[in-house]
Amino acid sequence: MIELIGVSKTYGGTVKAVDNLNLTIPGGEIFGFLGPNGAGKTTTIKMITGILNADSGTIKVNGVDIKTDPVKVKKQIGFVPDSPNMFLRLKGIEYLGFMADMYDVSSKDRTEIIDDLAKKFGMEDVLNDRIQSYSHGMRQKIVLMGSLLHDPSVWILDEPMTGLDPRSSFILKEMMRKRADSGKTVFFSTHVLDVAEKICDKVAIINKGRILFCGTLDEMRNSSMKDESLEKLFLELTENEE
Amino acid sequence: MKNKMLLLTRTLLKNGEGFGIKGMKNKVSKVLFALMLIIILPGLVVMFSFFVNSAYSALAVIGQEGVIISWGIAITSTVILLFGIFYIAASFYFSRDVEVLLYLPLKPRQIVGAKFLTAAIFEYIITAAVFLPAVIVYGIRSAVGIVFYLYSFVVFVFIPVVPLCLASVLVMILMRFTNASKHKDTFSIIGGTLALLLGMGINIVMQRFIVNINLQELEALITKGENTLALLTSGIFPTARWAVSALLDTATAAGFLNLLLYAAASAAVYIFLLFLGEKVYLKGVVGLSESVSKRNKQNKAEERDKFLKKHSALRTYTMLELKLLFRTPIYFLNCVIVNFIWPVLLLIYMVMGTEGADMQGMVKQLIINTDNAGTIFLFGIAMFAFVAGFNGTVSTSISREGQELFVKKYIPVSYRTQILAKVLSGFILSIAGAVFMLIAATAVFKLPLYISLLILVAGWMGTLLISFFEILLDLYNPKLDWDSEQKAVKQNMNVVYSMVISSIVGGLTIYAAAQFSPGIITAALSAVLIYGGLNVLVYFLLCKKGVERFKQLEG
């Protein structure tokens, strides 16, 4: 479970990226985080994962405050950043080995997980190549694999579908569902509303650093009293903000 | 066409091409950079001026003071050519922005032209440091008129053009007709090492030539017309002759004509470059981002098993740092190779030195006397500190993260461990360089083995101390906003600052050695106590302030 209580973040002293945000993301559900470009999605995710420091407010992951015990919090999170262009001079397997050591994964566990994931994503033959030679989608897959090595109880994904081929995208969605069903937390940001509509149990819509709506899709339809697609509801919600 | 090129130049400059001053966000960087501009650059100009001044006196005796100007132009051109090859390859082909520029509706010549202009602006710093002293000294000593300075200004503006064009042409042809661009890393490592060796060679030859030559030899050299440097220069840079003639003959129309010729020739060479760029640039650059993949299944299982074994986070993190240092050409040259080049250079100077073999004899003499054991030991310790400060490994270890710093923020490894891994990776390299130097020094100067061993046992403390200082420096003043790796290490002032710090620490140690001439036991004990104590102090500072600072860093 992730809890954000009164979290704010300002860039350069003037631009308020996240404004007094309150959000609870429970385990056992796929939670979609939606919003237009520059709404504060990535900033929020970066604060949860410890990349950015919140100016004020509290962030807890499974009850542990990121400020008091950051390493413990980070160990529970598997994180997929929005750009997979990193560690390009490492081989795929080297990257996975590095991540496994960072997350303290035993030799046995990492062997099983890497074998399983490589097979699922069709990456077996390229693990010995440098990431530099990978396509965007393959880079995305290696990062996805790296985020699951320690079987995290909280999985956070920033725009995870970008660049994935249909098959991998399908497998990813299945994995998200499986993890949520086993009681784990799955939190991902997207602006592809079709994906969100199909797989999310709950969504939060953020614009200009503030949460406009948080709940199930049905709740959203009920509150607007319209039986419309998520796209229309989203457009209406964010338009009113303009 | 012109407008687009200038627009692109402006954008590239704003984007941090050149010095990245615009990208400097924190005040510390700005203040330190300002200090460097105010102190180091004028310092260099003043230093060279003194040197040129004494050369002027010597040359004036034989009425050949004009040589100062031709040397000034020759050295500036050569240095620009050498730096240029590196800089152009990085900027034209290996910079991250190239891919973006390729799909913009720009003609190849516009990209080449703009990239060239931004490179030229960078070269003006070199030009200022080398050419200005020649102009100032010659101008003042020869009491020339205002026309000389006006001409000098024009020459100053045009100096980088021809050598930099030559560098660009060389690089473009190489990239077009070999598949160097496909093996970018290998190319950069081999090319860079060759350039370094060449630079070292020229340096040594010049050093010998300038320092050891006496008046008679000089006179003979010039009157015989065997001025190798000038010959070489006019061979490589034929246009330089016009610049020299113009500056030495400001009174007549011929001088003015020469100046016009120089400017026109430079412009023509630049236009030729644009023409060539239009023809060959695209073919060399397209497909650059493709890198060769083997996709082989052989050795797959072995390879894989190696990385499936569990290791501590500290070990793996340190290994990652080292791997990236060895695999990234710019880092390899500036952090790894440099480690072994400084010691070699220093030894060569000591062996060939100002007085040739005498220096070596002097050191040997010093060593034979057992009373000097303590002093020699302290020299050794100082050398360990120097070597650590003169490679940019630890002082750029945070900067090198660049936009990937965020990864280090979300992995569940304490900042203390991460800092230690960064220190450790640089420490390993520095120790390797220092030990390499110690072995060479032991062989060359016949250093008694027990002193060498003592230096080895205690020297690491000097290396560690400097490494601690360096990581603090980079934590407080990191250069994270870069788009080509060379900006992370080559245009990173932390490297210079760490040289200064290690010079102070090593210098104080040498000063103490010279001042007190301690016995070997006193020297060893005080070195261990002082360096050990300082290490403990700085370590605690690092654990508190350094960790705090890492926490605040946001990539």
Task: Match 């966000």 to its residue by tokens.
Answer: B25
User: What is the C-alpha separation between B81 and B127, in angstroms, rounded?
Assistant: 12
Give yes or no for B310 touching A (CB within 8 A): yes
Spell out which residues of chain B touch residue A102, defining contact as CB-CB under 8 Å: 313, 316-317, 411-413
**DSSP SS3 for B219:** helix
List, in sequence order, the alpha helices (H) in chain A.
Answer: 41-49, 70-76, 92-102, 107-121, 136-148, 166-181, 193-199, 217-224, 230-241
Give the per-residue pLDDT at B21: 44
For chain B, say whether A15 makes contact (Cβ under 8 Å). no
Residue A218: partners with Cβ closer than 8 Å, 6 or more residues away: none
Tell which of B183, B290, B292, B304 to mutate to test the A interface (max A CBs under 10 Å). B304
- pLDDT tens, position by position, B433-452: 999 888 888 887 888 888 99
pLDDT of B473:
94
* Tokens of residue B431, six digits: 């120790």
Q: Which amino acid is at B58?
A: A
Report the complex ipTM: 0.90
Contacts with A96 from chain B: Cβ below 8 Å = 307
Instruction: Give which of A173, A136, A178 is closest to A157, Cα–Cα.
Output: A173
The residue of chain A with its CA nearest to that of B552 is A53
Question: What does the block give as tokens for A85?
Answer: 């262009």
Q: Which residue of A has its CA nearest to B415?
A: A71
Kind plus residue range of the DSSP H or E element containing B44? helix B41-61
B411 to chain A: which residues are within 8 Å by CB? Answer: 74, 99, 102-103
The pLDDT value given to residue A117: 94
| Residue ranges of domains in chain B | 2-285, 313-552
Note whether A214 and A204 are within 8 A (CB). yes
- What letters, b where the CB count within 10 A reaches 16 and e where it falls short, cover A187-217? bbbbeebebbbebbebbbbbbbbbbbbbeeb
Mean pLDDT of chain A: 90
Q: What is the mean pLDDT of residues A35-56?
A: 92
CA distance readout (Å), B498 to B386, B419, B509, B516, B536: 10, 17, 16, 27, 19
pLDDT at B19: 46
Q: With an 8 Å Cβ cutoff, is B551 touching chain A?
A: yes
Give the closest residue to B537 by CA, choosing from B434, B474, B461. Answer: B461
A122-155 pLDDT, tens digit each: 998 899 888 988 988 899 999 999 999 999 999 9
Q: Which of A98, A114, A150 to mutate to test the interface with B (most CBs of B within 10 A)?
A: A98
A53: distance to nearest CA of chain B, Å? 7
Nearest C-alpha in B relative to A76? B412
> How does residue A186 score in pLDDT terms, banded at 50, 70 and 90?
very high
CA-CA distance, B444 to B399, in Å (whole number)?
38
CB atoms within 10 A of CB A109: 16
Q: Tell me, what's the pLDDT at A234?
A: 79
Domains and CATH numbers, chain A: 2-241 (3.40.50.300)
**How many alpha carbons fall within 13 Å on the CB side of residue B543?**
5
* The pLDDT of residue B143: 80
**Alpha carbons A103 and A149: distance in angstroms, whole number:** 8
Q: Give every CB contact of residue A97 below 8 A, 6+ residues apart in sequence.
A: A110, B306, B307, B308, B316
Q: B110 to chain A nearest CA, in Å?
A: 29
Is the Cβ pair A94, B323 closer than 8 Å?
A: yes
Residue A86 and residue B294: Cβ atoms within 8 Å?
no
- Whether the pTM exceeds 0.90: the reply is no
pLDDT for the residue numbered B18 = 44
pLDDT score, position B227: 46
Residue B287 Cα, gap to closest chain A Cα (Å): 12
Between B55 and A64, where is the model more confident? A64
pLDDT computed for residue B199 by the predictor: 64
Q: Which residues lie below 8 Å from residue B509, measured CB to CB, with a gap of 6+?
A: B378, B379, B381, B382, B385, B462, B527
pLDDT band at A165 (very low <50, low <70, confident <90, very high): confident
Q: Can you tell me whether residue B432 is helix, strand or coil? A: helix
Among B293, B313, B412, whose Cβ lies nearest the Cβ of A129? B293
Q: In chain A, which among 51-110 make CB contacts under 8 A with chain B? A: 51-53, 71-75, 77, 79, 81, 86-87, 89-91, 93-94, 96-107, 110
Q: How far is B400 from chain A (nearest CA, A)?
A: 12
Residues of chain B with pLDDT under 70: 1-2, 16-41, 178-184, 187-188, 191-192, 194-196, 198-236, 286-303, 345-360, 362, 555
Give the confidence band of A81 by pLDDT, cuts at 50, 70, 90: very high
Judging by beta carbons within 10 Å of its beta carbon (0-12, 13-18, 19+), is residue B378 exposed, middle or buried? Answer: buried
